[in-house]
Structure 1
Amino acid sequence: MKRQGEAFVGIDTAKARNAVAVAEGERNGEVRYLGEFDNTPDAVAKLVRRLAERYGVVHYCYEAGPTGYGLYRQIRALGQDCGVVAPSLIPRRPGDRVKTNRRDATSLARLLRAGELTTVWVPDETHEAVRDLVRTRAMAIEDYRRKRQHVSSFLLRHGRSYEGSPTWKGLHLRWLDRQAFAHPAQRLAFQELLNAVRATVERIGRLEAALLEVVPAWTMAPVVAAFQAMRGVGFLTATTLVAEAGDIRRFDHPRQLMAFLGLVPSERSTGETKRQGALTKTGNIRARRALIEAAWTYRHSAGIGDKHQSRQRHLPERIRDIAWKAQVRLCARYRRLVARGKRVTVVVAAIAREIAAFLWAIARHIDPGAQGASEA
């Protein structure tokens, strides 16, 4: 059978079955719904072979979601082009209130042919594994906060509060162990809450130890090491940023990275009027949160402590210079913005946005997969 020209395939993925539609290459070409197929490797391979026999060039796409990147990797392994689409950036008609698998697949195929879809960066399997470990640690940290709140709420209901600081460290932990309750049920309940907190701390420790073991063998390890030249960016913060944002050299300009992290102001302008609002907060929330936490350290004067020096010891001079330039600028900028009456949270967001730009500059001098950083 003679193969036709170009085809664009939209796939609406689900746990059990995939809805598939194909748009033929011409602008007014036919858009056909092919039906639903089992979401299994054999069924996908059969569909890809069938379309490859009919069309000369086939492009596939599907929305990023809970089904992950397995479908992407299989289609690419079969020698076909495939993209994973950012769901939040898919054009949608305001008046379209009907959503079905068929309509979604057809819409993806049509928009892919029109070039209206934005694809996301897809990590390799090792990168995805490190990201899973980072996210599991983040969930454990959140669980730890909730469990601590349960303990504090229990004590508050019984009229007990700790006046000292800091909490959840030596003196406070000993104070918690000394708490006694008249009723056996209350003693048991309180001890179970404390045990849950301690178990979560141990879980976090295991996950952090696993990261310390896995990251040095990762191809992105040089980037993780270089990012630690920046103030406020330790091993865990750097690992989180790299795992979530990936190779940020793919951004042609730091403003693109800032937008990816949701650290740029929203805007609603018309005519001669220009109005900017709060941060967009789109993109990767975990990477954005890590940068915000790092930004708080710039409220202090510029300087390099012992731990910071040890992180920089084996880094090229060019990267250390960028980090020092960033620290001098951002510490001064923090003080200047606060003196102008800006809210501290707004100032920290502005500092986090500039940290992203300096990290982008550092990444331009790093070759992922190499054992060291480039001086170029």
Structure 2
Amino acid sequence: MDTPWTTTPLTAELLRGALDLERTAHGLLPHRLPARARAQYTDPQLAMAESQPSGVRLVFRTRATAVQLDTLPTKRVYVGAPPRPDGVYDLLVDGEPAGQATAAGGNTLTIDMTTGSFESRTGPACTVRFDGLPGRAKVVEIWLPHNETTELVALRTDAPVEPVPADPSRPVWLHHGSSISHGSDAASPTTTWPALAASLGRAELVNLGLSGSALLDPFTARAMRDTPADLISVKIGINLVNLDAMRLRAFSPAVHGFLDTLRDGHPTTPLLVISPILCPIHEDTPGPGAPDLSTLGTGQLRFRATGDPAERAFGKLTVGVIRDELARIVERRAAEDPHLHYLDGRALYGESDAAELPLPDGLHPDAATHRLMGERFARLVFGDGGAFVGA
């Protein structure tokens, strides 16, 4: 017998983790930066990163035993590199993992890393289906692929759906960082290190990890300033080195300005500044970073640092230089801001970890390291004595 499907309109009440929702010709496109921020810099890399819904999830209450979600994903293809796996949709039932699915098809974005060019091709919408759910009333979460732009087309269930009010006992944690925070090379959207840490810390995550775009952009600071949050963290450094985006003279005032903007909207919210995790290629060697073209076609793209360590004397940034400066800035500001805290990123992933779990491409942690970082963050920051305790 055919399933008697109920179609539920996709609205903001069903979504968490997005700062903006765009109505498209196909449905609803979640954004992790608001329209005003997106209009200030229309770079394709930033547009791709902020539209990839890391931490964005559908949340609803239902007795449904079957759920269908029609989506239009955008797949990435890198010229000369092996095909990327389809993005993963994680299903949670009452907070517990209950299934995974992928969506084949959709649009394609072809990226040539040797030239920086982007080429788009349209494709068909797809259907993600979860069956065999318990027939009782329950809270269902569908976490969208953290690394795949996803337009939401239609939601169908075999029982009615209703929104779920936010749990007031769970603080909203607003986090900003680079591709590592975005979830690069994590296994699935609920296993990025911020998602794991949020789950262990019983927090509601808003993840503004923006691959390649954690650059102290003022529009990102203003977006965070204007976003309600109980806890805030910013992970600063690696993208500034990767892109050779600024020198020390510009970096220090930019950090102060970013933090000042956050404090304009969140004057007493616990605010944690996190320095880069260990990155051997950039510890003492400045950027820019670049793909190692000799590894294209080998099945494992790697990155390398192209700067000269001697250029540190002229203000070029390395992750080591950035750690020292961030620690100095936070120590100075904390004298007047008791809610400001600092975490050395090497406490999440350091030298001993690199020996056991080296970064596969020289920059990004693998799935096991995401889990390690998430567990450590939860213990150090949400645990006893941590920056987020008692907020």
TM-score, structure 1 length as denominator?
Answer: 0.28
Higher strand proportion: 2
Greater RCO, 1 or 2 (C-alpha within 8 Å, sep 6+): 2
TM-score, structure 2 length as denominator?
Answer: 0.27
Larger radius of gyration: 1
Higher helix proportion: 1
